[in-house]
Amino acid sequence: MSDQAPRTSLATHRVTNQPAPPGDIDLLEADLPLREALAREAPDWVARRLAPLGHEAGSERVQALGEAANRHPPDLRLFDRHGRRLDEVRYHPAYHELMHLAIDRGWHAVAWQEEGRGGHQAHVAALYLLTQAEPGFCCPITMTHAAMPVLRHSPTAEARWAPGLLAWDYDPRPLPAVEKTGLTFGMAMTEKQGGSDIRANTTTAAPGGDGWRLTGHKWFCSAPMSDAFLTLARTDDGLGCFLVPRFTPDGERNAIELQRLKEKCGNRANASAEIEYRGAWAEPIGPPGRGIATLLEMVQQTRLDAATAPVGMMRQALLAAWEHVRQRHAFGRALAEQPLMRAVIADLALEVEAGVALAMRTARAFDGAARGDDSERALARLLPALAKYWHNKRGPGFMAEAMECLGGIGYVEESPLARLYREAPVNSIWEGSGNVICLDVLRVLGRHPEALAAFWQEVAPARGQDRHLDAALTELERLVAIPADTLEPHARWLAQRLAQCLQAALLVQHAPGEVADTFCAARLGGEAGDVYGVLPDGAPSAALLRRIAP
């Protein structure tokens, strides 16, 4: 046996009945639902451009980088050895390599460089694959991507910042933006007293001779090593949107003081900080007093990514569970041959199929909106909230079931399942927790009736093809007819049912019959269970399992 191979003959026993190390996996080639969705939803160039990323993101090298970046979280350095203020976050080298993997290939910029031509579909599919390397570093990728619509509210700021934002070059050096080859963006919105209620923010902005000066505290600043931050501050006109660079126009470090890094449940590779603006230099973006409206497009972009990331994590967990049960034996046969285990894995596979379909359809709506399609624009208002809410509600239970498939080894940190389980809640909280998202769904339906009309148009071709879906759509029609002022207590059920019905309609129209029929029965029918692994009698588990890693 080669010295490079782990020893299986130990002092007291031989190591047997354990899965082989996973090795290199081509994450795109092995993912049949994603390849089918790309062929259906995206121009041909998207899959071609994604092919190298699928190969690289699933390699042993990149998977090891993800583990290292998560195991060695960033450190805060407030001062240098002589007491001069730094306010810097130092990352493990693995984090920087992952950032290169994304930015040096342009995945943060592709939506804008191919706008209306499949760019959002490319970005979303890339994020789905990158998440399977390590979810944490995807946060600054998302925010850098999402900053572009905000910059467009100020032609001056766009001219100055967009070239660096769109550059395919990750440059982590703490330097003024004009001296760097590529830029990243972060944001700092929430404050202690308000949280999601950003209208309660108290950070102030005062005009000066050389620009505006911000004073106040931010409870969460995501990716504090970014080159610029989008933030909200109060002016005489109301809440305004401001761009706060790390360095002032004269090249000095801006007065953005990092107080501490959050010690989070998951998302360990990414830094989140509490900060204070101590008269920090800033420039206004968008109309005075219209900061929330200015940021809405960015929020839609980040919500699309927050809806996609949990599906990527579910796919990673599914692969880990499936490879384990195929190789692990118990009670005289492989776990993958045992009916109850097959039902659990097949049900997890169904969830991924539905999640990929909804995420990619939502991305297509963004590209259609960029081309001026009114129906797609209406869907782009509604679908990110639905997908973000539902995918994230399904994620934590999914990770727990996948972990159970591995047993005790899944609960230890050497397994990716423990990391994924800790990571699972973050996208449900970030950019609006469940209740906030459901209230936003109600607002969209109330203010934009064209969004609901576009939804009905989208599901119409699936009517009459599955009795469970037909019944659920009839129930949904009754629910949305409830007077708006009494609908709020039902908002979670409404968001869930809208998302599930759209998932079902997409699968009925585009997926193989065994996938669509089983999903409709398992999610919308009378036998629908509250936990994974409850499939209708006669469910074609073998056909569902074959699609996991063909």
pLDDT digit string, tens, across residues 117-160: 999 999 999 999 999 999 999 999 999 999 999 999 999 999 99
CA–CA dist 519, 196 (Å, integer):
34
The pLDDT tens digits of the residues spanning 490-547 come to 999 999 999 999 999 999 999 999 999 999 999 999 877 789 999 999 999 999 999 9
**185-288 classified as CATH 2.40.110.20:** yes
Q: Which residues contact 65 (CB under 8 A, 6 or more apart)?
A: 94, 97, 98, 133, 134
CB 183 within 8 A of CB 161: yes
CATH code assigned to 32-175? 1.10.540
The pLDDT tens digits of the residues spanning 376-385 come to 999 999 999 9
**295-546 classified as CATH 3.40.50.1980:** no
pLDDT at 297 exceeding the cut of 90:
no
Phi and psi torsions of 222, nearest 5°: -85, 135
Range with the lowest mean pLDDT among 15-19, 271-275, 419-423? 15-19
Write out the E strands in 402-539: none
The pLDDT tens digits of the residues spanning 66-109 come to 999 999 999 999 999 999 999 999 999 999 999 999 999 999 99
The pLDDT tens digits of the residues spanning 147-202 come to 999 999 999 999 999 999 999 999 999 999 999 999 999 999 999 888 888 888 99
Task: From residue 218, give the alpha-carbon distance in Å to each of 226, 239, 325, 344.
Answer: 15, 14, 46, 43
CA–CA dist 137, 268 (Å, integer):
9
The pLDDT tens digits of the residues spanning 210-237 come to 889 999 999 999 899 999 999 999 999 9
The pLDDT tens digits of the residues spanning 491-507 come to 999 999 999 999 999 99
pLDDT at 3 exceeding the cut of 80:
no
DSSP state at residue 213 = E
CA–CA dist 511, 247 (Å, integer):
51
Hey, what are 217's tokens? Answer: 């505290």
Q: Which amino acid is at 369?
A: A
DSSP-derived 3-state class of residue 43: coil
The domain segmentation of the chain, as residue ranges, is: 32-175, 185-288, 295-546
Hey, what are 44's tokens? Answer: 């041909």
Residues pairing with 186 in the sheet: 229
The pLDDT tens digits of the residues spanning 380-420 come to 999 999 999 999 999 999 999 999 999 999 999 988 999 99
CA–CA dist 146, 107 (Å, integer):
12
Q: Which residues contact 251 (CB under 8 A, 6 or more apart)?
A: 176
DSSP-derived 3-state class of residue 1: coil
Q: pLDDT band for position 4 (50/70/90)? A: low
Phi and psi torsions of 104, nearest 5°: -70, -10
pLDDT at 2 exceeding the cut of 50:
no
- Give the per-residue pLDDT at 133: 97
pLDDT at 1 exceeding the cut of 50:
no
The pLDDT tens digits of the residues spanning 447-463 come to 999 999 999 999 999 99
Hey, what are 130's tokens? Answer: 């990158």
Average pLDDT of the segment spanning 287-308: 93
CB 545 within 8 A of CB 345: yes
SS (H, E, C) 249-278: CCCCECCEEEEEECCCCCCCCCCEEEEEEE
CA–CA dist 146, 148 (Å, integer):
6
Hey, what are 47's tokens? Answer: 């899959």
The pLDDT tens digits of the residues spanning 339-373 come to 999 999 999 999 999 999 999 999 999 999 999 99
- Give the per-residue pLDDT at 47: 98
